[in-house]
Amino acid sequence: MVNSIVVPSLLACNRSDLLPALRSLLSARAFPRFHFDRMDGQFVPNSGLSHSLLRNLRSALAREGLPVPPFEAHLMVRRPSRFWRKFADAGAELVSFHLESDDRAAVLAEEVTRSGLSCGLCINPPTPFDRCVPFLEHFSFLVLMGVHPGLCGQRLLPGVAEKIHRAADYRRRSGLSYAIVVDGGVCAENAPQLVAAGADFLIAGKAIFGGENVQASYGELLQAIATR
């Protein structure tokens, strides 16, 4: 189902518009999850969205009787072990962190998974796919960054489709079952190619929240994928 492919990235939405935007989206469609970016000003220069905001959004949606999809906390931070429990306590069902930020990736993944959350491993554009292979058995999903992390609105970098192909091929050969996710630079023009290459989920921010009508923008993205 095409709906289950596209994940809205809330960092791209103005803070004051977050609840109305989510209300508008949820009134029309079901979502696999919402993507919630947290930064620490060190791994990347900005600070992103807090665990308190995640908790408040979940509570507000529940009070209005709206469906509350799972939230993924994407930790673009230097020491993810210091952050993930705060997001788990705030209601996040998925946590992802960067291979480049913690050389204890397998140990941290086991901690997150034991707590009942799904854990994802992210790799930045310069990081070759081969570097993450030894860790993939510990993760539920692999996030291939389509842009350099930290800023919204960047264009998709070259080489992402090839990384998707490699991740899909290794998954098939290894018998692992991690989902393949692309984060950043996703738009109606490139989304069909990313899905065709083997991506299971596309995380989109500006392509959804950059226009005046979030429902229409989301629909355009889905239509582009459906008619590929």
pLDDT interval class at 135 (50, 70, 90): very high
- What are the structural domain ranges in the chain? 2-32+99-226
The DSSP letter of residue 155 is: P
Q: Looking at residue 120, what is its pLDDT? A: 98
pTM (2 d.p.): 0.94
pLDDT interval class at 211 (50, 70, 90): confident
Among the listed residues 62, 120, 63, 64, the one whose alpha carbon sits nearest the alpha carbon of residue 87: 120
Mean pLDDT of 134-143: 98
Q: What is the mean pLDDT of the chain?
A: 92
Q: Which CATH architecture group holds 2-32+99-226?
A: Alpha-Beta Barrel (3.20)
Q: Looking at residue 67, what is its pLDDT? A: 87
Alpha-carbon gap, residue 126 to 145, rounded angstroms: 9
* Active site positions, annotated: 37, 183
